[in-house]
C-alpha cells in the first residue's frame, strides 16, 4: 500500500493551491458579504480544467481520476467553499450524470460545453416536501407523445440562477414508485421555466441558490436521460459520487481552519508565551490534526474506490458523514482558538464555520448518510 501522492497528483495540488491563494483568496470576504457569484473565477476554473476534472478528453474534459478531483476540491475549499460547491455540482452531479447515463447526442450537445466551463450545470432533485425522501417527487413530467410536460417546484438549487443546463428529476408514473421517475435535461430559457428569488444563506454565500418553478414546460423526448424509469437510480448513483466531492469540500474547510488556527496559535501571545504552548490549545490542535487526517483517509479511500471501479455507495457516505462532522467541530474550535479575533470576518475562520454547516445537510443530511451506511451493514 502506497500512501504517497504521485508526482502528477502533487502538481495538481500545487496548481489548485496556487489558484486558491492568488485568485480565490483576495475577494472571498467581500463575495461572502455581498453574496456575489464568482463569475470571472468560474471561467478561470474552467480554463484550468477544474469544471470537467474526470470527463473524458474527447468531450473536452481533463480526463483525470477521482483522487485528482478530491485534491482539487480540498485545496479550493480551504479558501472558498462557495467556489468549490460550484465545482462540485458541475463535476460530480452534472458532468458525471451526463457522461455515465446520457446519450451520445446529449454528450456532444451539452457535456462538451459543461466540461470546459462554457456552460454551468445544476442538479434539481430537492423539493419543498422531498429533500431527504427523494422518492416522493411531486414534480411531474407527463408523456404527451412528442414531448413530456413538466410541472413542479425545486428547492435549494445550487447554481440555480447561473446555470445554462439543469438536470431535473421528475415523476412520470406515480404508480411505479421509484421506477416511475426520470431525469431530464432542461435548458435555461425554455418556455414556462422560471427562476425564483435567490436564497439568503448562512454559509456558502458566494454560491447561487434558488427555487425553480416549472409551469407546463414542454421537454423534448430526446432530453430524457437513460431508459424510461431510470431516473431514481440515476439520481442515487450520481449523488453517491457527489458525496465524495462534498466530503472533500468538508475536508478542505476543516483543514483550512486548522491551518489558520495553527498559524495564529504560534503568533498570538497570552500569559507570557505563544498560545500554542498552553496545553489547552495544544491539545485542541492535536485533536484537529488527528481527525482531519482520518477524514482525509476516508475521502481518499472513497475516491480510490471510484477509480478502481469498486462500489462506492458506502465509502462515499462514510467519508461525507465523518468529514462533515469534523468540519463542523473543528471550524468551531478554530474560532475558539482565535478568541475574539475568530468572531470577526478578516480572520476567515467564522466564514469557514458558517460554510461547514451545509456539508452536514446537502447531498443528503448526516442522518441520510447513516441510512445509506446502515442499510448495507444490516442487509442479509
Ligand atoms: N445506486 C443505485 N441504485 C440505488 C441506490 C444507489 N446508490 N440507492 C437506491 N437505489 C435503488 C434501489 O436499489 C431501489 O431499486 P429497486 O426498487 O429496483 O430495488 C430504488 O433505488 C429505491 O431505493 P430505496 O427503496 O432504498 O429508496 P428510498 O426512498 O428508501 O431512499 C435514500 C433511499 C437513501 C434515503 C434516498 O432517498 C436518498 O439518498 N435521499 C437523500 C437525497 C439527497 O441526497 N438529496 C440532496 C439533494 S441534491 C443536492 O443537495 C445537490 C446540491 O445542490 C449541492
Task: State mean pLDDT over 65-85.
Answer: 98
Task: State mean pLDDT over 237-257.
Answer: 98
CB proximity list for 171: less than 8 A, separation 6 or greater: 137, 138, 139, 140, 141, 180, 181
Known catalytic membership, residue 363: yes
% of residues, the chain, pLDDT over 90: 97
35: left (phi over 0), alpha (psi -120 to 50) or beta: left
d(CA 357, CA 325): 9
What integer pLDDT is reported at residue 132 of this predicted model? 84
What integer pLDDT is reported at residue 131 of this predicted model? 81
Q: Are 305 and 364 in contact (CB under 8 A)?
A: no
Q: Are 368 and 235 in contact (CB under 8 A)?
A: no
Ligand 1 pocket check for 371: Cβ under 6 Å: yes
Q: Is the pLDDT of residue 380 over 80?
A: no
Half-sphere exposure of 187 (CA within 13 A, CB side): 15
Q: Is the pLDDT of residue 46 over 80?
A: yes
Which of 167, 229, 236 has the most ligand 1 atoms within 8 A of CB, as the residue to mutate? 236
What integer pLDDT is reported at residue 179 of this predicted model? 96
- CA 335–ligand 1 middle distance (angstroms): 35
What integer pLDDT is reported at residue 62 of this predicted model? 98
What integer pLDDT is reported at residue 1 of this predicted model? 84
Ligand 1 pocket check for 257: Cβ under 6 Å: no
Cell numbers that stand for 283 in this block = 491539545
Q: Which residues pair with 187 in a beta bridge?
A: 165
Residue 276 — pLDDT band, cuts 50, 70, 90? very high
Q: At what angle do helices 279-308 and 231-267 cross, to 10 degrees?
A: 150
d(CA 1, CA 76): 27
Task: State mean pLDDT over 12-26.
Answer: 98
Q: Which atom of ligand 1 is nearest to the CA of 361?
A: 50
In this predicted model, what pLDDT tens digit does every residue of 128-181 receive, in sequence order?
Answer: 988 888 888 999 999 999 999 999 999 999 999 999 999 999 999 999 999 999
| Mean predicted lDDT score pLDDT of the chain | 97
DSSP letter at 378 equals: H
Instruction: Give the β-pairing of 140-143 and 147-158.
Output: antiparallel
Instruction: Give the β-pairing of 193-198 and 209-220.
Output: antiparallel
Cell numbers that stand for 194 in this block = 422560471
What integer pLDDT is reported at residue 303 of this predicted model? 98
What integer pLDDT is reported at residue 378 of this predicted model? 95
Amino acid at each position: 500500500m502506497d500512501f504517497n501522492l504521485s508526482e502528477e497528483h502533487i502538481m495538481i495540488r500545487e496548481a489548485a493551491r496556487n489558484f486558491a491563494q492568488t485568485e480565490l483568496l483576495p475577494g472571498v470576504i467581500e463575495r461572502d458579504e455581498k453574496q456575489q457569484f464568482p463569475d470571472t473565477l468560474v471561467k478561470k476554473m474552467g480554463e484550468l480544467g477544474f469544471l470537467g476534472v474526470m470527463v473524458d478528453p474527447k468531450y473536452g474534459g481533463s480526463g483525470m481520476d477521482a483522487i485528482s478531483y478530491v485534491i482539487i476540491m480540498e485545496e479550493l475549499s480551504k479558501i472558498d467553499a462557495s467556489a468549490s460547491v460550484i465545482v462540485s455540482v458541475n463535476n460530480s452531479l452534472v458532468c458525471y450524470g451526463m457522461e455515465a447515463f446520457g446519450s451520445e447526442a446529449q454528450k456532444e450537445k451539452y457535456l462538451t460545453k459543461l466540461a470546459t466551463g462554457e456552460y454551468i450545470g445544476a442538479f434539481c432533485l430537492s423539493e419543498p416536501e422531498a429533500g431527504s425522501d427523494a422518492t416522493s417527487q411531486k414534480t411531474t413530467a407527463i408523456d404527451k407523445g412528442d414531448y413530456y410536460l413538466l410541472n413542479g417546484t425545486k428547492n435549494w438549487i445550487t447554481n440555480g440562477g447561473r446555470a445554462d443546463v439543469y438536470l431535473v428529476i421528475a415523476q412520470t408514473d406515480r404508480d411505479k414508485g421509484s421506477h416511475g421517475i426520470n431525469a431530464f435535461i432542461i435548458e435555461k430559457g425554455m418556455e414556462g421555466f422560471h427562476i425564483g428569488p435567490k436564497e439568503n444563506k448562512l454559509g456558502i454565500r458566494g454560491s447561487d441558490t434558488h427555487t425553480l418553478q416549472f409551469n407546463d414546460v414542454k421537454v423534448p423526448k430526446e432530453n430524457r436521460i437513460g431508459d424510461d424509469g431510470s431516473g431514481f437510480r440515476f439520481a442515487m448513483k450520481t449523488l453517491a459520487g457527489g458525496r465524495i466531492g462534498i466530503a472533500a469540500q468538508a475536508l478542505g474547510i476543516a483543514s483550512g481552519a486548522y491551518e489558520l488556527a495553527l498559524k495564529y496559535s504560534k503568533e498570538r501571545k497570552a500569559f507570557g508565551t505563544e498560545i500554542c504552548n498552553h496545553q489547552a490549545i495544544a491539545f485542541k490542535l492535536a485533536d484537529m490534526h488527528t481527525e482531519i487526517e482520518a477524514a482525509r483517509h476516508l475521502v481518499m479511500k472513497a475516491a480510490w474506490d471510484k477509480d478502481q471501479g469498486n462500489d462506492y455507495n458506502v465509502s462515499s457516505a462514510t467519508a461525507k458523514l465523518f468529514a462533515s462532522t469534523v468540519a463542523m467541530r473543528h471550524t468551531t474550535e478554530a474560532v475558539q482558538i482565535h478568541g475574539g479575533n475568530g468572531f470577526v470576518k478578516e480572520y476567515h475562520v467564522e466564514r469557514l464555520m458558517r460554510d461547514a454547516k451545509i456539508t452536514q445537510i446537502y447531498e443528503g443530511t448526516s442522518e441520510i448518510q447513516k441510512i445509506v451506511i446502515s442499510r448495507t451493514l444490516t442487509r442479509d
